[in-house]
Amino acid sequence: MTTIALPQNNNGLHGTLSIPGDKSISHRSVMFGAISEGRTTVDHFLFSDDCLRTIAAFRALGVKIETTSDQVTIEGKGGFDQFENPDQPLDMGNSGTSTRLLLGLLARQPFDIEMVGDASLSRRPLNRVIEPLAQMGAQISARDNNLLPLTLHANRRLQEIDYQLPVASAQVKSALILAGLQADQPTQLTEKLITRDHTEKMLQQFGGSIQQEGKHIKVTPQSEFQGQHISVPGDISSAAFFIVAGLCVPNSKVVLQQVGLNPTRTGILSALSKMGAQFEISNETAASEPAGDITIHSQQLQAINLTDQDIPGLVDEVPLIALAATQATGTTVISGAEELRVKETDRIETVTEELKKMGADIEQRPDGFVINGGTKLHSAVEPLDSHGDHRIGMMLAVANLIAGGTGQLQHADAINISYPTFWQDVAQLQS
């Protein structure tokens, strides 16, 4: 367990940051590069623990992947059926994205594939992706039919499926798209609520086709993709920590460069705007994945109500909205967020437990929070704890900056899962 002294706020946060590459897009660039014909190069790749698990998995499957300090090069296999039988289990570490998407991508291989993960990932349910894949003909043996470790058994055929997703999950949707590309006939998917669409965008960028109309998706079997040059925008989920810090730490002004602005990911900006926050967005690019610079300065926020309709667009940022709500005027109610209970930790419980250590007036509900705002946070007497959850750890670091005092964070190393340079970037804004 790594325990560190948290950075203190002295005179606000000031400066410009280049946010690390988007985690979702980094994962998918390796996956599509691996099944494509020819070479794929990926600039501004996120070299975090999670994304390195995806690289390691494809190397174990016989894909040649080279890395430099800021680029990944993938020599594609030219289809789904060219992988080599790995000589050991694929270790997913803490990466739920790698696990769920690979279950779909590897569901039609002529050999068995074992998958394992760390203690946290091995507690996270997989039945929501295993069940529809089984309907397509995938043969998966998992612990309690739901958990890692598991075995994807040799399978030569996948059949189409007409499936309504019972929960809003981009990972489940993506797994079924990747399996649907290998099915006998077109697969039809209906989302409960529209979720992030990086898989659909990247499929098209690599030369594939997919039909989308609102919540309805049609996946036609296809296997001919061409290697591409991908430039990964900054991860808005990582930028969100500095957006909230810039809003809530007094005397701050922060510029975040080339942050991804995919409309399915900007729920955090919409929610904060409803709380009264004002941003300046400049230097926008109109690529497949749009991006732009975001300028933030300290402001007073107002309470907000979030429901299940809002959650898919900001599911990873809900802990930050809860933190911002402690500083807002009025009472914030967040509901429909029960998905947070099956993340790296039970985020509803951990957010409540940890922010209470700092004096927040916050109560948990089965599907969210009630937060009475306007509370002056104080540094916790006892150490704060990420509980091994990267997003909880970074949220607590921002909370301590808002509080303005000293503090300690246990399990701080979890932050490397998605943002290895987080502490350096905090220090840069304090210099």
CB contact set of 185 (below 8 Å; sequence gap of 6+):
159, 160, 221
Q: What is the pLDDT of residue 192?
A: 95
Identify any residues that bridge with 384 across adjacent strands, giving them in sequence order.
Answer: 409
316 is in an annotated binding site: yes
288 is in an annotated binding site: no
Q: What is the pLDDT of residue 134?
A: 98
Do residues 201 and 237 both lie within one domain? no
Do residues 203 and 276 both lie within one domain? no
347 is in an annotated binding site: yes
Q: What is the pLDDT of residue 242?
A: 99
374 is in an annotated binding site: no
Do residues 126 and 258 both lie within one domain? no
24 is in an annotated binding site: yes
Q: Any idea which residues carry the catalytic annotation?
A: 316
Q: What is the pLDDT of residue 431?
A: 82
Pairing of strands 14-18, 253-260: parallel
pTM of this structure: 0.96
Do residues 240 and 380 both lie within one domain? yes
Which has the closest alpha carbon to 163: 129, 194, 126, 195?
129
Do residues 10 and 96 both lie within one domain? no
**Cα gap 219→395, rounded to integer Å:** 37
Neighbours of 213 (CB within 10 A): 7
Q: Are 233 and 258 in contact (CB under 8 A)?
A: yes
343 is in an annotated binding site: yes
Do residues 54 and 131 both lie within one domain? yes
**Cα gap 97→99, rounded to integer Å:** 5
- Cα separations (Å) of 284 from 55, 261, 292, 314? 30, 9, 4, 21
Do residues 201 and 266 both lie within one domain? no
- Three-class secondary structure assignment of the chain: CCCEECCCCCCCCEEEEECCECHHHHHHHHHHHHHCECEEEEECCCCCHHHHHHHHHHHHCCCEEEECCCEEEEECCCCCCCCCCCCCCEECCCCHHHHHHHHHHCCCCCCCEEEECCCCHHHCCCHHHHHHHHHCCCCEEEECCCEEEEEECCCCCCCCCEEECCCCCHHHHHHHHHHHCCCCCCEEEECCCCCCCHHHHHHHHCCCCCEEECCEEEECCCCCCECCEEECCECHHHHHHHHHHHHHCCCCEEEEEEEECCCCCCHHHHHHHHCCCCCEEEEEECCCCCEEEEEEECCCCECCEECCCCHHHCHHHHHHHHHHHHHCECEEEECCCHHHHHCCCCHHHHHHHHHHCCCCEEEEECCEEEEECCCCCCCCCCCEECCCCHHHHHHHHHHHHHHCCCCEEECHHHHHHCCCCHHHHHHHHHC
Where does a domain end: 189, 210, 231? Answer: 231
Identify any residues that bridge with 226 across adjacent strands, giving them in sequence order.
Answer: 37
- Cα separations (Å) of 66 from 6, 25, 76? 35, 18, 12
Q: Are 107 and 183 in contact (CB under 8 A)?
A: no
Q: How many domains does the chain have?
A: 2
Could you give the angle at the alpha carbon of 417 between the alpha carbons of 401 and 422, nearest 5°? Answer: 30
Do residues 280 and 176 both lie within one domain? no
Q: What is the pLDDT of residue 70?
A: 86
Would you give per-residue pLDDT tens digits along the chain (431 residues)?
799 999 999 899 999 999 999 999 999 999 999 999 999 999 999 999 999 999 999 999 999 999 999 899 999 999 999 999 999 999 999 999 999 999 999 999 999 999 999 999 999 999 999 999 999 999 999 999 899 999 999 999 999 999 999 999 999 999 999 999 999 999 999 999 999 999 999 999 999 999 999 999 999 999 999 999 999 999 999 999 999 999 999 999 999 999 999 999 999 999 999 999 999 999 999 888 999 999 999 999 999 999 999 999 999 999 999 999 999 999 999 999 999 999 999 999 999 999 999 999 999 999 999 999 999 999 999 999 999 999 999 999 999 999 998 999 999 999 999 999 999 999 999 98
Containing domain of residue 411, as a range? 4-21+233-430
Where does a domain end: 201, 231, 261? Answer: 231
Q: Are 373 and 303 in contact (CB under 8 A)?
A: yes
404: left (phi over 0), alpha (psi -120 to 50) or beta: left
Do residues 205 and 329 both lie within one domain? no
CATH number at residue 59: 3.65.10.10
**Cα gap 31→384, rounded to integer Å:** 36
Q: Side-chain half-sphere of 134: how many Cα atoms within 13 Å?
A: 12
Where does a domain end: 197, 231, 265? Answer: 231
Q: Residue 306 phi/psi, 5° resolution?
A: -115, 140
Do residues 209 and 250 both lie within one domain? no
Is the previous residue joined to 250 through a cis bond, with omega within 30 degrees of 0?
A: no
Neighbours of 70 (CB within 10 A): 11
Do residues 159 and 298 both lie within one domain? no
Do residues 277 and 336 both lie within one domain? yes
Q: What is the pLDDT of residue 286?
A: 84
